Structures are given as structure tokens and as C-alpha cells.
Amino acid sequence: MRRTVFGRPLRGVAFDVAVSGLVALVSLVAAVNQQGGWAATAVGAGMAVALLFRRTHPRAATVAVAVLALVQVIAGWGPLPYDVAVLIVLYSVVKYGERLRDGVLAGAVAAVGVLLAAAQTPGVIQFWVTALWYALVTGAVWLAALNVRTRRLYVLSLEERAATLEREREAESRAAVAEERTRIARELHDVVAHSMAVMIVQADGARFMLDRDPDQARAAVKVVADTGRQALEEMRRLVGVLRDADPAGIDGPAVAADPEHRRLALAELPDLLARFDDAGLRVIQTVTGTPPDLPPGLELTVYRVVQEALTNALKHAGVGAAVEVGLAYTAEAVVVRVVDDGRGRPLVSPAPSGGHGLLGMRERVTVYDGSLTVGPRVTGGWRVEVRLPLPSEPASEVIAA
């Protein structure tokens, strides 16, 4: 953690104190031999104090040093060693000033000071040579400060732009998550509604068959119990997804108009693969294991994962890419693996919509406590692998008559 003094970085404060102390020391050491004696030393000490505020108050520090330099000129002492403070404060006002206008004004004042200093410089060198030398030194300091100021403002603008882009990216991510959660809520709403309809039909059948065929009525009641447990689990996931979202509008007219409002299942997966095959992908499907009876919500997640992975393959691998879609069923989980070779041509026809990319895919997988692995392959192309644990079978209940 960076240490601060009076709200400023310790490193900068130490550097300013060192610079100020050096100017004060120069004015003190030359007190005996320089023109003006101790009075000139007092002027140099005042310049040294002003340099302490060259970062926080560059304009005020520049005015203070300029006034003290004018006193020196009026006294006729000529240029002295501590006048390096003039160059330091000129550099500071150009670099740290809120407006470049302050630096330009300070440069103009320094130009007048160059002429006055050249006029008071003793020696055999001609006036214009001395003035040219002072002007070159002062101009070099001013231009160096301007270059540093430009770079400093450029870096600050890049940092601000990066911060703005980060905030926009976070806002877009939150919006995408909220929209995808709303879509998941609609789909799970269909699942729960289907389960409730099954329960009502089976319960009515059990009520009518209770006296005529007790065995069939018992089987219907068992279906009602199993379906209710499954619907309750789906409701739990639905509430979990919507814990930060507004569920309003789930039953609104926009849902009915949504073409994806109907429930999709794995039985429709071959049609999905055929559509992508027609779009230009060379899709190969492999199935390992025996497909179990999956909850409708889990089937829908598998369907959406395959759809999104194929959409990404079509967008990025291109038309003509070979894609292998693998479904592996085990006793614990269903594994979806979509791999493309990345050797297609640029897309020439629009790909089917697939939601919000990897962000939406990860959100869907997280709902069922699954895992998502994505990344490039060593041999080229892209790999998407999703593992979705299967729900445990509900425990059998024995009800005594």
C-alpha cells in the first residue's frame, strides 16, 4: 500500500523537500560571496519555500518565485546560483497547471526575465550571446515540461477510458445476465406448468378410479407425488435464478409472442443439428450410453448448450467447419461435448440465434450445479464441454392403508 503524507504520496513529498532543501542550501552556502549577501540569501530561501508547493499550487508557487526574482532584478544582483528555482517552478507550472494557459504566461514572463538576466550578467561575452544561451536553456525546460504534461494527460485519459469501458462492460454483463435469467424463468415456468397439469390429470384419474381399480389409482397417486417433487425442485431453481431479478412480465403478453416460449426437448435436437447442417456446418453426432429420463428443465439446458455452441462454431469457425456433437450419459451426469476444427470459410448466411454466448451458457449450467469448460484446441478449433449432474431419484414412500 502506498504511504501518504498530507494526502500526497510520500515519495513525491520527499522529492519536493529534497529539491527545496537543495535550493536553500545553495543560497546559504553562497551567502558570503554572492552579490546582495544575506539579503540575497533570504530571497533564495523564499524561493526554496515556494518550491514546496510546486505540485499542489503551481500557479501560486510560480507567482511567488517571479516576485522574488523581480526583487533580485530591481536590486541589481544579477543571476545567482539559486535562480535554478525559476527553471524548476517554470517546469512545474507547465506540467501540473490546470490549464496550459498558465504555462504559456509563465513562459512569456520567463522570456522577459531572460533579457533582464542577460543585461545584468557581468563578463566580456556579448549581450545577445548570453541572452541566446539563457533562452535556449529556458526554452528547453519549457518544452520538456510540455512533453511530460502531454504524456501525463494522455495516460490519465487512457486510464479514464479504461475505467469507463470497464464500467460499461460490467453494465452490459449485468444486463445480459438479467435478460438471460428472464428467459430461463420463462422456460422453467413452462416446465412447472406442465408438471402441474400432469399432476391435476393424474389426481382426477385417481379420484375416479379409487373405488373401481385401487391399483391403478395407487399408480396415479405415485405419479402425482413424483411429478410434484420434480416441480418443487424446478420451482426452487426458478426462485434461485430470480433472486435478483424482477419476475414481473413472466405471464405477460410478451411471453406469448416469444417464438421460443414453447418447451424444447432432446427429441428436437436432430432438427436443430439439421438446421446447422443446412447453414453450412458439417455436424456429426455421437451418443454414448443410454439416455435416461431427464427433467424437462435439464433437457432444455442441454438443448440450449448445444444450440449456443453450434452458433459460436458457425460464427467463428465459419461455413464448412466440421463439428462433433457428443452426448455421453452416465449414471451420475450427462456430458455435452461440442468440438469444431476451426477450418471453415467466412460466414455467408445468418446463424440461428443462441442467446448471450458463453455468459448465458454459464448461467444456464450454473442453475443445475454443472460445470462448463471452454477453450481453444491445440490442433485448432474450439471446444465446449458441459457436465450436468443428474438429479437423484426420489425416495420411495410406503403409505399404510
> Model confidence over 39-81: pLDDT tens digits?
888 888 899 999 888 888 898 999 999 999 888 888 888 788 8
Q: How far apart are the first and last CA of the chain?
A: 72
Order across the sheet with 322-329: list the strands. Answer: 282-288, 322-329, 333-340, 382-389, 371-376
Over residues 167-189, mean pLDDT: 77
**What is the tally of helices (H) and strands (E) in the chain?**
11, 7
Q: Which range among 6-10, 81-85, 318-322 shows the weakest confidence by mean pLDDT?
A: 6-10
Q: How many degrees, rounded to 5, is the angle at CA 378 between CA 376 and CA 379? A: 105
pLDDT grade for 362, boundaries at 50, 70 and 90: confident
Short-list 291, 385, 386, CA closest to 331: 291
Strands in 11-84 per DSSP E: none
What was the pLDDT predicted at 262? 46
Spatial contact of 381 and 339, defined as CB atoms under 8 Å apart = yes
What was the pLDDT predicted at 241? 58
CB proximity list for 176: less than 8 A, separation 6 or greater: 356, 359, 360
Answer with the residue of higher pLDDT: 266 or 400. 266
d(CA 193, CA 227): 11
What was the pLDDT predicted at 34? 72
What was the pLDDT predicted at 394? 42
Supply the Cα-derived Rg of the chain in whole angstroms: 39
